[in-house]
Amino acid sequence: MTIQLNIYRFNPENDSKPYMQYYEVAISKKGMKLLDALNDIKWNMDGTLTFRRSCGEGVCGSDGMNINGVNGLACITPVEGLKQPIQLRPLPSMNVIRDLVVDTTHFFDQYRQIKPWLQAYTPTPEHERLQSPEERVELDGAYECIMCGCCTTSCPSWWWNGDRFMGPAVLLQADRWLKDSRDEAAGERLDQLEDAFKLYRCHQIMNCMEACPKELNPTQAINHIKRMLLNRQS
Amino acid sequence: MVKYGKDLGAAHSGLSDWYLQRVSAVILALLLPWVFVLLWVLALDGLSQQALFALLDSLAVRIAHTLLILALTIHAYIGLKVMIEDYVHTGMRVLLMGMVMVGMGLFAIWWLSLIWAWGG
């Protein structure tokens, strides 16, 4: 039993334009994942195929790619059930460095803009800043985000205005810090987001929710930020 | 293609657009169906011209009519503005938004004058 793949190839040093390359890989085990197939190609057939991967279990967020037209993580996507030949492309709307590797500089720069760390101004307690179990539950659905970029690169608003629109992943993270009971910079955070382009480009297309490999809902998080801004003003 | 640029901070805009778009949508949802009901009644010959004018001239209908036109122009203006913000990326953006604003403003003034100045 084999699976067929069509993989996007582009090496800017040699290729004038990208092309799709066909591979056939043997199914090596039950429950084989797409990353297993890519590793097989890389290690046994074609060492020039380039992709990012690290943990192999959907935690590091390295191997986000476009799989048959939908963004996802290769390491947790079973090959079984995918329409063949499987079309593998880099994440949309990011500059390709080589093959399936994209330039995430701007994506992480936007992440840095929302200051994704705890900001507290009250004196540091002797031991730690405590959080009740109820307050901790507030972070469910946000802390699981691994910043793989699958949602942001599936968002048409980010395609058209990604230079300014923060995108679903970063806004989900922004909401995670707005919801954190220990964080004391909610006002500054809202100030920084209140912008027709940074936040309000979201038109609830919901591609982000469809794409998220961790089954999170960035649209809901963005709506929560909008409600917080409304409540602050009214 | 993503362009890289300086972060110029937040413009503190967007919230009022977002809020007005929703408020005007609610007003339109409540009032716009009555326009079609009226057109339907007229098409069925259920109302004479005199009765129609009398209806449109009543204070309650004038106020509802005004609300409808305001909600319609605000809703249309913000909707077009959002589309221009989404898809127009050159200096044309500001010009187009200005043109839409002036056009919608003129439309509202003209229609409101029909409701209030030249009635019976």
pLDDT at position B90 over 90: no
Q: Does A143 touch chain B (CB under 8 A)?
A: no
Contact state of B19 with A230 under an 8 Å Cβ cutoff: yes
Query: What does the domain layout of chain B look like in residue ranges?
Result: 15-33+47-116
The Cα A68–Cα A81 span in angstroms is 11
Nearest CA in chain B to A225: B15
Tell me which chain B residues have a C-beta less than 8 angstroms from the C-beta of A191: 10, 12
Q: Does B90 touch chain A (CB under 8 A)?
A: no
User: Which residue has tokens 């691994």?
Assistant: A146
Phi, psi of A174 (to 5 degrees): -60, -40
Residues 93-112 in A contacting B (C-alpha not used; CB under 8 Å): 93-95, 105-106, 109
List all residues 6 or more positions away from A8 whose beta carbon is below 8 Å from its beta carbon. A18, A19, A20, A88, A89, A90, A96, A99, A100
Binned at pLDDT 50, 70 and 90, residue B118 comes out as low
Domains and CATH numbers, chain A: 2-102 (3.10.20.30), 105-233 (1.10.1060.10)
| Short-list A79, A76, A80, CA closest to A60 | A76
Q: What sign results for the dihedral spanned by CA atoms A51, A54, A57, A58?
A: negative
List all residues 6 or more positions away from A186 whose beta carbon is below 8 Å from its beta carbon. A178, A228
Please report the pLDDT score of residue A53 as a whole number.
96
Tell me which chain B residues have a C-beta less than 8 angstroms from the C-beta of A230: 15, 18-19
pLDDT tens for B17-54 read 999 999 999 999 999 999 999 999 999 988 898 999 89
Please list the rounded mean pLDDT of every run of 10 residues in chain A (234 residues): 95 96 94 96 96 96 97 96 96 97 96 96 92 96 96 97 95 98 97 96 96 97 97 92
**Residue from the list A94, A105, A199 with its beta carbon closest to the beta carbon of B14:** A199
pLDDT at position B82 over 70: yes
Question: Would you say A183 and A171 are in contact if contact means Cβ atoms under 8 Å apart?
Answer: no
Mean pLDDT of all residues in B97-116? 95
Nearest CA in chain A to B16: A230
pLDDT tens for A92-102 read 999 999 999 99
Please report the pLDDT score of residue A7 as a whole number.
98
Q: Does B22 touch chain A (CB under 8 A)?
A: no
Inter-CA distances, A84 with A26, A41, A232, B38, B41, Å: 13, 16, 51, 56, 58
B18-22 CB contacts, 8 Å cutoff, 24+ apart: B18/A200, B18/A226, B18/A230, B19/A230, B20/B74, B20/B78, B21/B75, B21/B78, B21/B79, B21/B82
Classified by CATH at the fold level, domain B15-33+47-116 comes out as 3 helical TM bundles of succinate and fumarate reductases (1.20.1300)
Please report the pLDDT score of residue B4 as a whole number.
60
| Short-list A23, A28, A75, CA closest to A49 | A23
Give bridge partners of residue A66 from the DSSP assignment: A71, A89
Mean pLDDT of all residues in B42-68? 92
Please report the pLDDT score of residue B21 as a whole number.
96
pLDDT at position B1 over 70: no
Distance from CA of A163 to the nearest CA of B (A): 5
Strand segments, DSSP code E, in chain A are: 2-9, 19-26, 64-67, 70-73, 86-89, 96-98, 101-102
